[in-house]
Amino acid sequence: MKKIQIGQSDIVSSQIALGCMRMADLGVNKASEVIETAIDSGINFFDHADIYGSGQSEIIFSQALKNSDISRDDLIIQSKCGIRDGFYDFSKDHIIHSVEGILERLDTDYLDILALHRPDALIEPTEVAEAFYQLKKSGKVNYFGVSNFSTSHVDLLQQALFDKLVVNQLQFGLKHAGMVAHNMNVNMENETGINRDGAVLDHMRMKNITIQAWSPFQYGYFDGVFIDHPDFIKLNNSLEKLAQKYHVTKNGIAIAWISRHPANIQTIIGTMNTGRIKEVTDASDVVLTRQEWYELYQAAGFNLL
């Protein structure tokens, strides 16, 4: 599998990561199988959040690791914090307390990356900076990032930090590609031309912050999966044609479309199905041609002018 450097860090990671949100639904033995399959398939990056399964996903993950021969040193572990019951909280005390809980549940001494989960309207950048500095100095977190942040949110926070942010998690895929589409509809009076994110894709590239694509198979906001969906026949036909050409599956081609973008986007897949992990990673070496990339883009419903 292709390896990428994560932001301005020394982390070299698999371009595909495993999101562990659904791991709380597994038993320890099944979770061990999932982790081992991911590792055997070339994945070394695992994404968590303190709210996944109300913390149970992290507990199952740590128990599953103990149940395997996998070393913590061979893994890149990221977790996120900041979402509470009914509100967001980026206060210094909450960030530090959250990390202590994450480390306890994961049974590890450190996180490779800590990301702030969703923008807190009441954020005090200097307070976040103090929390990050304390966590870095104590060896509990090596690098920091954000999730679902706009360009202005990133810049507001970055100006107060001692360390460079290295990741920004954003929803992205064939049916959620607005941050690509609006760039090709500049100054057009149409729906696609509306810039809703402050040109976040270009901005992250300029700042050398790795975009992590979440929910790559979803259309809308958790409305469903577009693979084999009867409402997206044209897209699925295009995916199937390329799947046959490259001897992989439609799921694999959908991820290859993301990986083909020159931003070196890291895709987070959230499946706990070992067969699905294999079929996606089996396509990790597929490099779509420029024509194929645009064919899928248009089949997904985006027009070229």
Q: Give CA–CA dist 23/42, Å, rounded.
A: 19
Instruction: Provide the 10 A C-beta neighbour count for residue 249.
Output: 21
Q: Give CA–CA dist 141/300, Å, rounded.
A: 39
DSSP 8-state symbol, 22:
G
Q: Which amino acid is at 203?
A: H
Q: Which residue has the tokens 């779509």?
A: 288
Q: Give CA–CA dist 150/147, Å, rounded.
A: 9
Q: Which residue has the tokens 């990673």?
A: 281
> In angstroms, what CA-CA distances link 196 with 5, 161, 193?
28, 26, 9
CA contacts within 13 A on the Cβ side of 34: 28
Specify whether 294 is catalytic: no
Q: Return the sign of the alpha-carbon dihedral for residues 40, 245, 296, 273.
A: negative
Per annotation, catalytic residue among 52, 143, 246, 297: 52
Instruction: Provide the 10 A C-beta neighbour count for residue 171.
Output: 18
Residues tagged active-site: 52
